[in-house]
Structure 1
C-alpha cells in the first residue's frame, strides 16, 4: 500500500508542482536548459536533493534531460504542463468577469466624482 502512495506523488504533474522547490526549479528552467549543479547552486540545495526533485519532474513529464559530454542538461518539457495549463484556463472566465466588474465599478466611481 505504501508503494501506491509513493507512485501517486510522482505520477501527477499537480502533485509534482505542489512542492515549492520543484516550482523554483521549473521557474529557473524557463530561462533555458541547465545542468543539475547550476540548479542546486541557485536554489541553495545539495546536488542529490536537486537530482531527486528533477527525477520527480521527469517522471511526470515536466522536465527532460539530454546528455552533453559529461553533463546532463535539464530543460522544461511543455507537454507536461498542458494539464495544468488547461485546468487553470478553466478559470479564465471567472477572472475576466471579476476584472469586468472591477472596470464597471471604477467607471461608476469616476462618474459619481464628476457629479459632485
Structure 2
C-alpha cells in the first residue's frame, strides 16, 4: 500500500505492507499465526515480525521482533533490533482476573500487554561505509 502525504509543498511517500506468512487453527484447538509488517519511509524503515500461539485452555505465547533503521542524514546507518517474548498459561491469566474463555484472546494486539515478559533483548548494529 502506498500512502502519500503533503508536507511543505513536498510529496512524501510511505509504503506499508502486512503479510500473513503462516496461519493454522490447530485442528480447532487454538491458533498459530506468523505475520510481518513493513513500513518504509523516505528516511527510515520499520519491520515487525510477530508469532502468536494460543492453545485453547493451555497457554498463550507471543514472540515479537522489531527492527528499525534510520538512514537519512547519516553515513553510518544504525539498525536497532528488539525481541520480546511474552507467555502465560490460561490458569495464570485467570488468577490475575482475566477471562479463562479462549474467545477473549483472538487479537494479539489486545492481549499482548496482559502477558508477562519472559525475555527481552535489544541489539544495535552500526553499518560503516
TM-score category (smaller protein): under 0.3
Q: TM-score, normalised on structure 1?
A: 0.21
Query: Which of the two has higher C-alpha Rg?
Result: 1
Q: TM-score, normalised on structure 2?
A: 0.20
Higher helix proportion (structure 1 or 2): 1
